[in-house]
Amino acid sequence: MSYQDEYQASIENPEQFWAEKASQLDWYQPASQVLTQDEHGIYRWFADGELNTCHLALDYHVDNGRGDQVALIYDSPVTDQQRKFTYSELRDKKAIAS
């Protein structure tokens, strides 16, 4: 699907579009509704859904076979240093820091 097709789908039926995108995430608790409106008229997307962004950023990729793939490239023009970190290395550094 092209960018234009994706954009058009998001405009024509935003709830369905975002429900499909959300189904591709590893939710701890999927939302019961995609879009809700509170008592003040404020719209909320996935209001009662729960996910963990750290899990999605690191653990999910390691668990799905991408642990040895480069996830982050540190490139400092100030110190003239460059270092690459894999998903597994970042996950392990996060675990030590916790």
Question: pLDDT value at position 95?
Answer: 76
- Please give the residue range of the domain that contains residue 69: 53-97
Nearest to 45 by CA among 26, 68, 18: 18
Q: Return phi, psi of residue 69, to 5°.
A: -80, 145
Q: Look up the pTM and report it.
A: 0.72
Query: Which two three-digit tokens encode residue 61?
Result: 């990729």
- Co-location of 35 and 62 in the same domain: no
**Into how many domains does the chain fold?**
2
pLDDT tens column, 37-88:
999 999 999 999 999 998 999 999 999 999 999 999 999 999 999 999 999 9
Residue 63, Cα to own-chain centre: how many angstroms? 15
Q: What is the pLDDT of residue 96?
A: 78
Same domain flag for 80 and 57: yes
**Is the domain of 68 the same as that of 88?**
yes
Q: Which pLDDT value is given to residue 98?
A: 64
